Amino acid sequence: MNNHYDIIVIGGGAAGLTAGIYLSRAKVSTLILNEGAVGGQMVLTHEIANYPGIENISGYELARNMKTQAQKFGCVIKSNIKITGLKLNGELKEITINNKDTFTSHAVIVATGGKPRAVGVPGEEIFKGKGISYCATCDGDFFTDKEIIVVGGGNSALEEAVSLTKYASKVTIVHQFDHFQALEHYVAEAKSNPKINFVMESKIIEFMGDESLRKVRIENRATNEISEMNVNGVFIFIGYVPNTAKFEGMIDLNEYKEIIVDKNLATNIPGVYAAGDSIVKRYRQVTTAVADGTIAALSASEYVNNLKKELVTV
């Protein structure tokens, strides 16, 4: 088995798959290594309605189409693996998976994305999967005709709150501020939905229950008043934490553990690029991840081509 590729992409979300499409179509031998199922955060999105040229599509379907397209051009994808070794310095990069197979490449694109940010209060770990969810698409139908809470005030929180009204009898949005950070049309859509209620300037301070979640304790940040609310489920949408822990000490990160890149999406290590939700950026959308994947692919491809020319000259 040939374990050497021109470029290895770590991560199979929107950014990683886009990089795979661009690279393999340009006849650059490419391997995508993905810990978990391919698609990243896309597969957790009920509906994507602002992807250019597509009126609406499920995140799962878009991820599947991207994967198929990359493989059609010859990109090799290995998913549900565990990266157990990394050597990123030097001309030849080495990545070991499952403590067994080692793959080498001239360049690496890090597109590991992020994971849902936890509230971080008592009971959250206990009731994960037992009433607490971070994915409306995955778990929404479990709460048909039930009363639920959505935590958050950004685009994802309000969009998913609206989508959850298809199942739940009542959706209460709990947000720590007195205003939303979401775009106005998401706010307007949520406010016009009769099934949605709002608890502003408040935060959940404890999850409680028995076999499953039964109630939450809520603190009003303005008055410090504490109340309890009976609830069947809580969906948490308060952002993501970059999946960059394995690169600490190798790639330069900022205080939020996001990867620092230049305009070409190059990191501090020659031949290592980064794209998507794991990098320093203001906006995190499928379209911005796709753009990052394109730029990283073109930059990494140029780096590899120049490196090969140097080796031939020598």
Which run of H or of E encompasses 97? Answer: strand 93-97
Sheet containing 147-151, strands listed edge to edge, beginning at the edge strand earlier in sequence: 132-133, 233-236, 147-151, 170-174, 196-199
Pairing of strands 147-151, 233-236: parallel
Q: Which of 6, 75, 101, 139 is catalytic?
A: 139
CA dihedral defined by 309, 310, 312, 313, rounded to 10 degrees? 120
- 6 among known catalytic residues: no
DSSP state, 130?
T
Phi and psi at residue 188, to the nearest 5°: -60, -40
- 139 among known catalytic residues: yes
Cα(302)–Cα(305) distance, integer angstroms: 5
Cα(215)–Cα(237) distance, integer angstroms: 18
Q: Which of 138, 141, 178, 262 is catalytic?
A: 138
Cα(95)–Cα(18) distance, integer angstroms: 21
| Residue 16, C-beta contacts closer than 8 angstroms, at least 6 positions apart | 9, 10, 32, 34, 40, 109, 111, 275, 276, 293
Pairing of strands 196-199, 170-174: parallel
Q: What is the phi-psi region of residue 282: left when phi exceeds 0, alpha when psi lies from -120 to 50, beta otherwise?
A: alpha
For tokens 């959308």, name the residue.
285
Tokens of 261: 């890149």
- 262 among known catalytic residues: no
Cα(99)–Cα(25) distance, integer angstroms: 31
For the annotated catalytic residues, the residue numbers are 135, 138-139
